[in-house]
Amino acid sequence: MAAPLPTLAAGALAAGEHAVVDPAEVFREEAWSHLVFSLLGGGQGAVVDYGPHRCYVWATRSGHGVYPFYRQGPGGRKEFCANVRADAGLLCIAPRGALRAGAGPEAVRYCLAAEAAPDMFRDGDVRHGGFEVITSGEVGPEYQTQTLDDGDLAYDEGWWAPGDAPAPDVPAPGGRGSPPTGA
């Protein structure tokens, strides 16, 4: 029996482990088509339920590309963590269990201590808890310089924790994340 198609939902995403990833790493082909052509319907973003998982899918401002992922650091500083790739102009925040088997290293994984609703705070730019993905290219002086380009992608196979409350097994800013204890 085929898995159900995603349905529109509302509200926050649960606390725990999430990934920012191309939706193809979460949704099977027919579900992806349903999402793009029926649920988003030209809109910029939507919270959807897909089986037992609640996800947030949104359209990037600049389409296909590689976008920086930041976490909130001390004093309001935005710390660059890694890059995330969008192959069809869409990105998805999904809980760890929603990632399809074989999801590649292009999934940027992070942990939230509390339930939080994703927020599109600028055209194509999304904040979730203390984390941000910038697809507009608009960053201010509070953002750490992102020095990597498409030829030197910083994919991260570990886990990032909020900069203001790092998990004990997550290294200091600038280091790679690591799986939460018990993962």
| pLDDT tens sequence across 30-41 | 888 888 777 776
C-beta separation of 47 from 119 below 8 A: no
CA distances to 29, 67, 151 from 132, in Å? 27, 10, 22
pLDDT at residue 158 tops 90: no
- What is the number of structural domains in the chain? 1
Kindly state whether residue 20 falls inside one of the protein's structural domains. Answer: yes
The confidence score (pLDDT) of residue 66 equals 87
Q: What are phi and psi of 92, to 5 degrees?
A: -140, 135
The confidence score (pLDDT) of residue 43 equals 67
Kindly state whether residue 7 falls inside one of the protein's structural domains. Answer: no
Kindly state whether residue 44 falls inside one of the protein's structural domains. Answer: yes
Kindly state whether residue 171 falls inside one of the protein's structural domains. Answer: no
pTM beyond cutoff 0.85: no
Kindly state whether residue 142 falls inside one of the protein's structural domains. Answer: yes
d(CA 32, CA 94): 14
Kindly state whether residue 176 falls inside one of the protein's structural domains. Answer: no
Residue 32 domain boundaries: 14-160
| pLDDT tens sequence across 103-117 | 666 678 888 888 899
Kindly state whether residue 5 falls inside one of the protein's structural domains. Answer: no
Considering the chain, what percentage of its residues have pLDDT values greater than 90? Answer: 18
Lowest mean pLDDT among 43-52, 54-63, 68-77, 143-152: 143-152
The confidence score (pLDDT) of residue 126 equals 93
Kindly state whether residue 2 falls inside one of the protein's structural domains. Answer: no
